[in-house]
With several copies, the nearest count.
Chain A
């Protein structure tokens, strides 16, 4: 084991998969030279050359279309979109093309595309560079949506995503890029579609994704002082959603809080809440509470009021405990 930053874990995954499979290539803006805006692809150009590391014009629709067309022919593109907010610029290619190609053509095509994009606030990057849009993509059949919270998961999930034969929207969190964590020296994969119990607890389940996993863990530590033992589940993959891990935990705890950074209204927390109450209403000792951002764009200057945090999660947990 060794300590690695989240961004380096991603870079490692790319390096390893490119070394393993000649069909894997990387495409995006500035992905050569300095390795993209956040240096996730640093070193790839030196290692694999211009053929497999493709710097493009600023044309996100062309980037995604390129990936789709190449993947349909059997290549395994990893496309980078510099900020998740820019996925809007190529939304047709992602949703009407990439997600539907296989179905629309009756299974004729297989599309092993990974689209990497960093989302999330926390860097004062303003309303057009800070959004968390996973709920949109989770609503689109044909896509898988992945959202790692730790370096370990980032590396293992990215490798699995590259090997997966389906289009994957791989949502990194830019405020986590510098965060550190242990990863094994030997190769490993983290399977898609499996949530991870990041902390075992018996009193309440907290389901979280991406950066909110860390806030949930902080909250859990705090709650523990008051004798409340929260089980923290890191979704890791949004679709396919790991219903089982969630159900199993809630069966034990009978209480659920869901936390994500995206706007609370119509976010993924709604689906998880609805799903759990649908299936196990009588099991619940309290309403499912959701923690998410308020219904406002991400302000440049007021992020500290905007971002949901450990305190909010702890407060929600206390409310369900006291219910």
Chain B
């Protein structure tokens, strides 16, 4: 059972992720951020549910839609924001941007611009833990679309074979870019694919943060106890387009509206209110606090200098 403190933390993480991403949509649309960004608004329960049961030393591999995953794992918001701005105080000195944010301290191993590209590397991370007998777990996030890449197959197979301490978390939002799942795969439940590797596979309602949390805890437990990897599929909904600015001509306005009814935050708030864990005032206070956190982060990012030209040549070789 998740205790009250943890319930409140789950709420905090979800709301924070939502507000940060709303802010990113905003500032991106204002042209303040270079490149392109992908947000996971509507998918917050997955990041929060999974990452909230991890310790600092546990490591997550995130995706191109990975802001939530990184934030829920506890990455510092200021330096996160600076990275997205491409500034010197970003975690990667601004060389990474939204698509490749990482932080060693926070156990965010970095997100990948190659769909499926992070999976084999996450296996390597878990391998290092096993090799050194470290008490930690690796979580690798990826999308429904990514489960069709060859690397998915090779990575899960190897991890299962070697019984590595890793959880493969499929954030299934039903879309790969502009194409719905039913167009590009025959299976509905991606967790079914676990059987191909002799691995445990589980599908949960990814908009129910408590269910995500529950299954994630079990998977993490199994991994740490040497019982091998799990394929945990969380079914969720992508509210916005593939990238910020995507006109989404491939789905109707009704569909776009429709998915909002799965709002994992409203759902969880209702649960908390009904069970008297929080009241409206608490929610307001939480929102206000997060707002200030974000404002601070924006200020930090905007005041951080752009990296000098010399930085172009550093970090190529050790």
Contact = CB atoms under 8 A, between A and B. Distances in A.
Interface of A: 25, 29-30, 32-34, 37, 51, 54-62, 64-75, 77, 85-86, 89, 92-93, 96-97, 101-108, 110-112, 123-129, 141-142, 144, 165-166, 294-297, 299-302, 305-306
B2 interface: no
B97 A301 contact: yes
Given A299-B95, A300-B97, A128 B123 contact: no
A97 B117 contact: yes
A56 B309 contact: no
B312 A296 contact: yes
Interface string B142-160: 0001101111011101100
Nearest to B109: A72
Given A30-B178, A64-B120, A105-B100, 16 more contacts: A34-B250, A58-B146, A59-B153, A70-B128, A104-B96, A106-B93, A106-B94, A107-B315, A125-B36, A126-B99, A166-B317, A300-B86, A300-B94, A300-B95, A300-B99, A301-B34
Sort chain B's interface into a size bin.
35 or more
Interface string B238-277: 0000000000011000000000000000000000000000
Interface string B24-62: 000000000011100000000000000000000000000
B305 to A, nearest CB: 11
Nearest to B161: A57
Interface in B100-119: 100, 102-104, 109-110, 112-117, 119
A95 B162 CA distance: 26
B80 to A, nearest CB: 13
Counting chain A CB atoms within 10 Å of each CB, which of B94, B97, B153, B316 scores highest?
B316
A124 B97 contact: yes
A266 to B, nearest CB: 15
Contact of A96 (B36, B114, B123, B183): B114
B278 interface: no
B158 A66 contact: yes
B306 A57 contact: no
A65 B312 contact: no
A106 B96 contact: yes
A57 B145 contact: yes
B90 interface: yes
B179 A55 contact: yes
B176 A61 contact: no
Contact of B307 (A29, A75, A302): A302
Contacts of B131: 25, 51, 70, 75
A166 B307 contact: no
Given A57-B157, A102-B318, A301 B87 contact: yes
B79 to A, nearest CB: 11
B87 A57 contact: no
Counting chain A CB atoms within 10 Å of each CB, which of B115, B183, B315 scores highest?
B315
Contacts of B92: 104-106, 108
A75 B315 CA distance: 19
B296 interface: no
B118 to A, nearest CB: 8
11 contacts: A30-B179, A33-B249, A68-B121, A68-B124, A105-B100, A106-B315, A108-B102, A112-B318, A300-B35, A300-B86, A306-B312
A295 to B, nearest CB: 7
Given A29-B176, A72-B125, A62 B112 contact: no
A86 B149 CA distance: 12
Contact of B124 (A67, A106, A125, A144): A67
A298 to B, nearest CB: 9
A183 B193 CA distance: 50
B145 A103 contact: no
Contacts of A33: 178-179, 249-250
Nearest to B121: A69
Contacts of B151: 61-62, 65, 92
A65 B314 contact: no
Contact of A62 (B158, B183, B311): B158
B86 A92 contact: no
A70 B157 contact: no
A111 B176 CA distance: 30
A180 B241 CA distance: 28
A165 B318 CA distance: 6
Nearest to A103: B315
Contacts of A62: 120, 123, 151, 154-155, 157-158
B117 A69 contact: no
Nearest to A73: B128
Given A301-B94, A302-B312, A89 B149 contact: yes
B200 interface: no
A297 B161 CA distance: 35
Rank and list the top 9 A-B pairs by shortest CB-CB distance, nearest first. A65-B120, A69-B124, A301-B86, A106-B92, A300-B97, A128-B113, A57-B148, A73-B128, A124-B35
B158 A104 contact: no
Nearest to B159: A62
Interface in B173-202: 176-179, 183-185
